[in-house]
Amino acid sequence: MFMFLLSVPAAFGQSADSTFYPLHPIGMAQGGSQTAVARGYSSLFTNPAGFARTGSELTLLSATMWVHSNPFTVPASTRALFSGDLSANRTRVEEQFTNGGFGFGGTTGLGYVGNGVGIGVSASFDSLFAGSSFPDPDSPGDISGVLLSEISLVGGLALPFDLGRARASVGANIRPFVRMWAAVDDPAIAAGMIARYLGVDAGGEGADFMQEQLVLNGFGLAFDAGALLEWDQASVGLSVRDIGGTDLGYSRHSLERVWTSLQSGGLPAPARPGDQEFVEENYRIPTTVNVGGAWHPSLTGMGRRLNPVFHAEVRDLFRIGAHDHSLGPLLHLHVGAEATLWNTFAFRAGLYQGHPTVGGGLMLGFFHLNAAWFARETGDFPGDAPARGAALEAAFRF
């Protein structure tokens, strides 16, 4: 049940009014840079101009899971969890929560992209809990977390046209979505979740977090646009998400009520002015502008079996100057590279906000398997408070 509990809300690094990016391993292994290389299923979440690229792709199912933790500690933690050794289990769990944080998430979806059309649906969740002191029966500690879940539909069009020797395309999509968000800022509630679902003696067992934890849930209607310019071996891309800002009308309900409604296939009825659950303040997701470039060399001879591409992007362009630290602007930089061999094996690497990323892929006909190891920055500058993670995707694509 813990997985489904976290899918009610969840998102690390995400506020109630921020753009949510699912952590697909193809993009995460390449440092999160995708604006200039968007195509196929990934373009539904990055740049709608990619709908116009040559070829089409039908994703019958894409299922991705990720974990926010040092990936190399996960096997030992899993063994401790199922070994019955409570002291070892507690030590391993405590290390992860107090050293970069711990959480997990996932996304599943399907979609078609091709011939200038992009349409898809996805359901995503994300979570992160962290603190400097772990709870126990004698001390509540200071562990807290963020949870977010989002269910979205995407539908859009893109048009290609020639500009001399260059090929340009522009695209746009509409994106209705439902979002659930919660800040778990009561250490007793966080301790109750840890004790109940991870089997460690963290105290907080008496906290009825299903009733006490409040969740914001609401509906948004977003509009995105993008452009691509391809010339010879180079391309540049522009994406604008949440054009004009996306308003969210949230209601406030208990986790128990939201969970019960989800089991029935819906959400609680929206609250009205005057209701105790009504949230009066207005939430707006701001517009995000991303700019990127790519170089796709054409190899000859035996090198034709190898298909490399190098790319980079600046994310949230207009907020680069809003940093107090001199290294803060580097948090907007994402750099990546990919090389496919015989259209079967993929090797990927990059820099995500100054942190190295790596991954790979295996394409066997319509079955695709992709993995990524990454780190993201949760502090004010690169190296301040990195959170490591790993992601794995299994997909059926044609």
Domain definitions of the chain by residue range? 2-397
How much is the pLDDT for 349? Answer: 98
The class (CATH top level) of 2-397 is mainly beta
How much is the pLDDT for 115? Answer: 94
d(CA 159, CA 50): 10
How much is the pLDDT for 214? Answer: 85
Torsion sign, CA atoms 72, 74, 77, 78 = negative
How much is the pLDDT for 225? Answer: 98
The per-residue pLDDT string of the chain (398 residues; one tens digit each, 9 = 90 and over) reads 333 333 323 334 467 778 888 899 999 999 999 999 999 999 999 999 999 998 899 999 999 999 888 777 666 666 655 565 556 667 777 888 888 788 889 999 999 999 999 999 999 989 888 888 888 777 778 888 888 889 999 999 999 999 988 999 999 999 999 888 988 888 888 888 887 777 776 665 555 788 888 888 888 999 999 999 999 999 999 999 999 999 987 888 888 888 787 777 666 777 666 666 666 667 899 999 999 999 999 887 656 688 999 999 999 999 998 888 888 899 999 999 999 998 899 999 999 999 999 999 999 999 999 999 998 887 777 877 788 899 999 999 99
How much is the pLDDT for 397? Answer: 96
Closest C-alpha to 168, from 49, 88, 321, 322 = 49
d(CA 119, CA 44): 7
B/e letters for 101-115, b = 16+ CB within 10 Å, e = fewer, are bbbbbbbbbbbbbbe
What is this structure's pTM?
A: 0.87
How much is the pLDDT for 86? Answer: 52
HSE, side-chain direction, 13 A CA sphere, residue 212: 14
Q: What angle do CA 65, 312, 398 make, to 5 degrees?
A: 50
How much is the pLDDT for 394? Answer: 98
User: Dihedrals φ, ψ of 340, to 5°?
Assistant: -105, 140
- 61 neighbors 396 (Cβ within 8 angstroms): yes
